[in-house]
Amino acid sequence: MKLQINNLSKTYPNGVQALKNVTLNIPKGMFGLLGPNGAGKSTLMRTIATLQEPDTGSIQLGDLNVLTQKHEVRRVLGYLPQEFGVYPKVSAATLLDHLAVLKGVTNKKERKELVNALLERTNLWNDRKKNLGGYSGGMKQRFGIAQALIANPQLIIVDEPTAGLDPAERNRFLNLLSELGENTVVILSTHIVEDVKELCTNMAVINKGEVLLTGTPSDALAGIKGKIWRKAIQKGEITTYKTNFNVISERRSAGKPIIHVLSESQPEGFISVEPDLEDVYFSEIFGKKQLTMTS
């Protein structure tokens, strides 16, 4: 099964065009949707999740028309939105049991087995009787995945899932997503480049509602190989360099700015660096000026 999105557009009543003719072909496996805040990622995720209508375009999940067969799609959909609320005074086991009933799992024995399996899979078994209000951020995210898996979904959508998690919880959560992506279409919508680098076999970069790049991370890296240059500069020089070069990122090392420049040829005083996925991301978002030919 795959997800096919064709020419999807959405403009809100305030005039903001959140999506502009978005077309994506998303196969089984982990798919990373990268973009800054406000890029249109959440609008796209809500539309795929049948929570809002586009102005134009189509979405097909296997044989299902996502825009007209919403009920059928929801039966095979697992969704973890960016803001996931829980009942703080209810235990994880109790709430999962209730959600399973709402999903149509009416057999008590079957439901208990399902809930127990989900708690084990998300490493929440030892905390199953603990009220959700006492869960850490990472535990709440893992509970979010547990509830998303109740229907044995064919499509899982997770929107900014690792924002605010500490490194240990982030690793646990990403490992869980990686397992899910072996047999399911999993869309990981994020602005964190590292998440996509570690997990995804396919990716897209979106900004201001438009898809700027699609493909595999390795193909994306190959596209800028030999075009990323690095230089350590003085703090007061950044404006000048941004004026004269195609600066895509500024980092700091020992308090000193390190800039990366996108250029077809080597600018004077710069050294070549092997690009990483962060360079791909910044090149698409900030590197659309004509490539500097200074040498």
Whether residue 295 is contained in a domain is answered as: no
Place of tokens 């493909």: 215
SS3 state of residue 14: coil
Q: Please indicate, yes or no, if residue 293 is contained in any of the structural domains.
A: no
Please check whether residue 34 lies inside any domain of the structure: yes
Same domain for 19 and 105, yes or no, is yes
Q: Are strands 202-207 and 155-159 parallel, antiparallel or unpaired?
A: unpaired
Q: Is 289 helix (H, G, I), strand (E, B) or coil?
A: coil
Q: Write down the pLDDT at residue 294.
A: 34
pTM: 0.84
Residues 228 and 210 in one domain: no
Same domain, 203 and 229: no
The structure tokens 């047999």 sit at 183
pLDDT given at position 292: 35
73, containing H or E segment: helix 70-75
pLDDT value of residue 288: 57
Phi and psi at 247, nearest 5°, equal -75, 120
> Do 70 and 89 lie in a common domain?
yes
Please give the Cα distance from 18 to 88 (Å, whole number): 33
Q: Is 294 within a domain?
A: no
Total domains in the chain come to 2
What pLDDT shows up at residue 168? 83
Q: What pLDDT, on a 0 to 100 scale, did the predictor assign at position 274?
A: 94
**In a shared domain, residues 168 and 275:** no
**pLDDT given at position 197:** 82
Distance (Å, rounded) from C-alpha 263 to C-alpha 227? 5
- In the prediction, which pLDDT does 290 show? 41
Q: Write the single-letter amino acid at 14.
A: N
User: Domain for residue 227, yes or no?
Assistant: yes
Same domain, residue pair 111 and 11:
yes
Residue 250 CA, chain-centre distance (Å), reads: 23
- CATH classification at residue 44: 3.40.50.300
Backbone Cα Rg of the chain: 22
| Domain extent at residue 258 | 222-286
How far are the Cα atoms of 35, 50, 273 from residue 279, in angstroms, in the given order? 13, 33, 10
Q: What is the pLDDT of residues 159-200, one digit of tens each?
A: 887 777 788 888 888 888 888 888 899 999 888 888 888 789
291: in domain: no
Task: Answer yes or no: do 56 and 112 share one domain.
Answer: yes
| Boundary-marking domain end, from 215, 238, 267 | 215
Q: In sequence order, what are the residues at sequence separation of 6 or more whose Cβ sits closer than 8 angstroms to the Cβ of residue 199?
A: 30, 32, 174, 177, 178, 181, 188
Mean pLDDT by 10 residues, the chain (295 residues): 95 95 95 91 94 96 96 90 81 94 90 94 92 89 88 88 79 82 89 85 94 93 94 91 92 88 94 93 76 35
